[in-house]
Chains A and B, each alone.
Chain A
Amino acid sequence: MDNEQKLNQLEDWYRTYSDDIHRFIVYMIRDREQAKDLMQDTFVKAYSNYDSFWGENTKSWLFSIARNLTIDYMRKKRPISYITEYFHSIPDNNELSPEQSVTLNEQENEFLYSLAKLKRPYREVIILRRIQEMSIKETATILGWSEGKVKTNLKRGLDSLEKQMKEGGVFK
């Protein structure tokens, strides 16, 4: 396949999956503008790695790239203080960027904040299964987990999210 054909294929993927990928990154990092940059990086990387893709499941492959780039970004960007915060990503505060705080109401803001306070594996599985509505199999592929682990972590993650939101006063 020549470069022009690859680019056309990439554009098809972009038109099909860019919304989903952008949404996934937004929920992971709570920053709409930065998510645009990471989504852009995702498709540039997909183009670079095109030849290594065997075409089994494009969506899972693109999400895996997006996930890795997002995790790299979080590790580089977030000034963590405590080693366990890699697993309990407590944000410094519950403020979003000025643009987002204008548009999100208190309940929405609290939901994102509660999600951000979860251990990263819980957050990822909730975003993929419940927000992106991906299948267990797709989620397992993206996260590199067994399907059983997806189910277990989803259950634990949802319990944890429920607890966080009750503590935050959104759901009594």
Chain B
Amino acid sequence: MSHFDGKNEIVESINNKMKLSDSEKNEIFSQIKDRIHHKKKTTTSMRYKYYLTLASASFIFLLLLFPTFSSFFQDSSSGQWGGEVPSEVVEVVNKYFEALGTGDIDTVVQYSHDTRHTNKAEQKVHYARINEPTTETEILEIRRVTSDEYEVTALIFENDEVLELRFPVKKMEIGWQVIVGMDIVRE
């Protein structure tokens, strides 16, 4: 007997309830056509304006980035993450990701601030619900944002999948914390 036997009736019932009506499908296809037609109306002059705007924005962006690059090259020889990253930040980040790898929930909670929870106890209860908390990770970079905020870029490995994610690390009353519980930027 298949594992799925006994659930087929539930699935069938959900499928019926979620099924789109003909009018919904027609409406969605009309919207698809509208979007496609709207795209076609993009004229050459509009494209020219778009590229001009993009080029200008890129130029301004590079100008703004210049001081960051300058300081990066100046400090890159002092330490693994560059001289700008305090050792306390590096320690917190290392301990947090190491704890993820070993499934040490206490340490994960200690070094992270979860914006969805009002306190550490609540955060810990939530994390304890996860059955297999171990995750292989690799820290790629820690970057200074301000004197009170850094950003860590890490690789997360799962089966054949590799994700590159970035997390803020902020100075809080209890010390430096990896901030989680918000939208995470993925490369």
A interface residues, Cβ below 8 angstroms from B: 3, 7, 10-11, 14, 18-19, 22-23, 26, 32, 35-36, 39-40, 43-44, 47-48, 75-77, 79-88, 90, 92, 103-105, 107-108, 111-112, 119, 121, 126, 130-131, 144-145, 149, 158-159, 161-162, 165, 171
Contacts and interface: CB of A to CB of B under 8 A. Distances in A.
Nearest to B14: A108
27 contacts: A11-B29, A14-B32, A18-B29, A22-B18, A22-B20, A23-B18, A36-B24, A40-B28, A75-B184, A75-B186, A76-B183, A81-B114, A81-B115, A81-B117, A81-B123, A81-B181, A82-B126, A82-B133, A83-B135, A83-B180, A84-B132, A88-B132, A104-B17, A105-B13, A108-B17, A158-B2, A171-B6
Given A18-B25, A81-B181, A86-B163, A107 B10 contact: yes
A104 B16 CA distance: 10
A47 B34 CA distance: 12
Nearest to B103: A84
Given A82-B114, A86-B158, A36 B20 contact: yes
Given A44-B32, A108-B10, A79 B182 contact: yes
Which 10 pairs, one residue from A and one from B, show the smallest C-beta to C-beta distance? A158-B3, A81-B181, A81-B114, A84-B135, A103-B17, A130-B4, A111-B10, A81-B180, A43-B32, A26-B18
A82 B180 contact: yes
Contact of A111 (B7, B17, B186): B7
A14 B36 CA distance: 14
Place the interface of chain B in its size category.
35 or more
B156 A39 contact: no
Interface of B: 2-4, 6-7, 10-11, 13-15, 17-20, 24-25, 28-29, 31-33, 35-36, 39-40, 100, 108, 114-117, 123, 126-127, 129-135, 137, 156, 158-161, 163, 165, 180-184, 186
Contacts of B31: 40
Contacts of B135: 83-84, 87
A34 to B, nearest CB: 12
Contacts of A88: 130-132
Given A81-B117, A107-B10, 7 more contacts: A32-B18, A84-B130, A84-B135, A111-B10, A144-B160, A149-B159, A165-B7
A88 B20 CA distance: 29
